[in-house]
Amino acid sequence: MNQLLGFVKKEFTHIFRDPRTMVILFGIPIIQLMLFGYVITTEIKDARIAILDHSNDNVTREIKNKILSSGYFRLEANLIQENEIDPIFKKGDVKEVIVFEKGFAENLEREGKANIQVIADASDPNTAQMLYNYTNGIVQDYTKKKFAGFTIPVQIKSEVRMLYNENMVGAFMYVPGTMALILMLISAMMTSITIAREKEMGTMEILLVSPLKATHIILGKVAPYLLLSLIDAFVVVFLGNVVFGVPIRGSLFVLAFLVILYISMALSLGILISTVANSQQVALFISGFALMLPTILLSGFIFPIENMPVPLQILSNFMPPRWFIDALKQVMLKGNGFAYIWPNVLILCAMTLFFLGLSVKKFRLRLE
């Protein structure tokens, strides 16, 4: 135990004496958070929606046909009652629910006016805004064509409600994503580099020849980064809350659990990388290309997954940040607990174990 403590202490000294490491640890997270606070435009295709049709008449059927044949939407469920709306959002199956009021065609004929309510999951604000615009566009287009010859102006009014993120703040989407990116950067990249550095400097040999056990060496290298990553996660959540007003609706316990799980996953990835990388440059290269780019591009952080070509959609399933970002949004923005995020938790656990197992195997192979 004392041996391990001395080792961890030394690791902290390495970190605090290297200005570059300090910048990566504490400068980059803040800069990235601020940068990603700005909105990046995205596009929609085949978004899953549900429809609650209270009248089910000719006009509503026509409008539904138009919407579903547009290519932007895919019908996930036909709802019967209002109280089905909330659960289906919480489950995360649909991005938008379209509600037709009772006696839709009648109202339109008698008063020249009928109402559609569009409810969107705005924890992903770009997508939500886009979905609403598309829906509205289709409805207006339909109205214009259908009632072109009429003298009285006919109006179908669509009313929109953004769930979970009423004010459509872009940062709501980017804070969880930035967190995923930063934790990956610090945990995976920094550990792989620091272990590779010991190999490069030849100090790893000394450690291996010493009575320290391999697990102690790895634990000693990893523990400081676990702690510092946690601090960074706290800083991101705190800044997100104070600067961008991103809420934390779920329990802090669930949030902390999720963050620690994700950090563990990233750390085991870092260890895995260090088993194949013998120099800091190689470690940096692998973690940069193999981790950072997929985290940014394939996790749904910036580009909606439902909009990707099918092969990339499949590939995104293997990206740990995807599951983390999704779960994080659910916890922070929707206030969901384990009852909803357990599949994500399970997947992240499985990935962590897989990476750890693989690194142990690689480590042994290398020693032999």
Partner 1 sequence: MKQTSEYTGPIIRVKDLVKKFGSFTAVDHISFDVKKGEIFGFLGANGAGKTTAIRMLCGLLEPTSGALRVAGFDGYHQREAIKRNIGYMSQKFSLYEDLTVYENFRLYAGIYGIPRKERIRKTDELLKKLNLEESRDKLVAGLPLGWKQKLAFSLALFHQPAVVFLDEPSGGVDPLTRRTFWDLIYEVAHQGITIFVTTHYMDEAEYCNRVAIMSEGKIVALDTPVALKEQYHTDSMDGVFLKIARNKE
CB-based contacts of 356: which residues, under 8 Å, 6+ apart?
Answer: 268, 271, 272
> Which of 10, 110 has the CB closer to partner 1?
10
Under the criterion CB under 8 A, does residue 5 sit at the interface with partner 1?
yes
Which amino acid does the sequence have at 29?
P
Q: Which of 28, 75, 207, 235 binds partner 1 (CB under 8 A)?
A: 207
Contact assessment for residue 221 and residue 14, using Cβ atoms and an 8 Å cutoff: no
Interface stretch with partner 1, choices 2-10, 72-80, 102-110, 336-344 (CB under 8 A): 2-10
Give backbone dihedrals phi and psi of 245, rounded to 5 degrees, phi first: 70, 25
The answer to whether 3 contacts partner 1 (rule: CB under 8 A) is yes
Question: Is residue 104 a contact residue for partner 1 (CB under 8 A)?
Answer: no
Question: Within 288-317, which residues bind partner 1 (CB under 8 A)?
Answer: none
d(CA 190, CA 213): 22
Q: Which of 69, 203, 215, 279 binds partner 1 (CB under 8 A)?
A: 203
| Interface with partner 1 (CB under 8 A), residue from 19, 149, 153, 202 | 202
| Residue 201 is a binding residue for partner 1 (CB under 8 A) | yes
How many C-beta neighbours within 10 Å does residue 300 have?
27
Is 360 a residue that touches partner 1 (CB under 8 A)? no
Question: 210-229 mask for partner 1 (x: CB under 8 A)?
Answer: xxx-----------------
Give the sign of the dihedral formed by CA 271, CA 276, CA 279, CA 280: negative
For the segment 17-56, give every residue that binds partner 1 (CB under 8 A).
Answer: 17-18
Q: What's the rounded Cα separation, in Å, for the pair 9 and 261?
A: 24
Q: Does 357 bind partner 1 (CB under 8 A)?
A: no
Q: How far is the CB of 10 from partner 1 (least distance, A)?
A: 5
Alpha helices in the chain (DSSP H): 2-17, 19-22, 28-36, 58-69, 85-91, 104-111, 125-146, 171-183, 191-201, 203-209, 214-243, 252-276, 280-286, 293-297, 310-316, 320-329, 338-367
Rank residues 7 and 303 by Cβ distance to partner 1 and give the closer one. 7
**Which residues bind to partner 1, rule: CB under 8 A?**
2-3, 5-7, 10, 13-14, 17-18, 201-203, 205-212, 367-368
